[in-house]
């Protein structure tokens, strides 16, 4: 069990640029979640996948955000035309699904938009 991994761990970009983050879940986990965490706050749900299907998206996920999980394994989260307000820690988590709901979190990708 190698755990959930995320890449990159840190990203600094200029406003208006596009960024893409990758998450590799625990291999046998069907569900994959994305969260955003700002300083001093708890993680806020963005979206989740059951295998390759994106089943739910939060209102926090504006049109500039898109997530994919093309083969039901790793996932990518892209932010287009980044804004300073996008600066946050982006967390990925995975779980086995309905039978076991405990989510296991990756170390996160810290984004800073200048």
Q: Whole-number minimum distance, CB 62 to other proteins, in Å? A: 18
What are the distances in angstroms from CA 104 to CA 11, 17, 27, 39? 22, 30, 12, 20
The 47-86 contact track toward other proteins, x by CB under 8 A, reads -x------xx------------------------------
Nearer to other proteins, 30 or 80 (CB): 30
Measured CA to CA, the distance from residue 101 to residue 91 in angstroms comes to 17
Q: Whole-number minimum distance, CB 81 to other proteins, in Å? A: 26
Measured CA to CA, the distance from residue 9 to residue 97 in angstroms comes to 26
99 binds other proteins (CB under 8 A): no
Q: Which of 41, 52, 64, 112 binds other proteins (CB under 8 A)?
A: 41
Applying the rule CB under 8 A, the residues between 7 and 36 that interact with other proteins are: 31, 33, 35
Residues 106, 91 contacting (CB under 8 angstroms): yes
């Amino acid at each position: 069990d190698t755990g959930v991994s995320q890449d990159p761990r840190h990203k600094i970009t200029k406003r208006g640029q596009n960024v893409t983050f990758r998450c590799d879940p625990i291999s046998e986990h069907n569900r994959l979640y994305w969260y955003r965490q700002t300083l001093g706050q708890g993680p806020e749900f963005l979206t989740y996948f059951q295998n390759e299907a994106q089943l739910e998206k939060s209102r926090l996920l504006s049109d500039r955000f898109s997530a994919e999980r093309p083969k039901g394994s790793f996932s990518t989260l892209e932010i287009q035309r980044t804004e300073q307000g996008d600066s946050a820690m982006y967390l990925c988590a995975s779980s086995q699904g309905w039978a076991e709901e405990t989510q296991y979190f990756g170390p996160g990708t810290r984004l800073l938009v200048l």
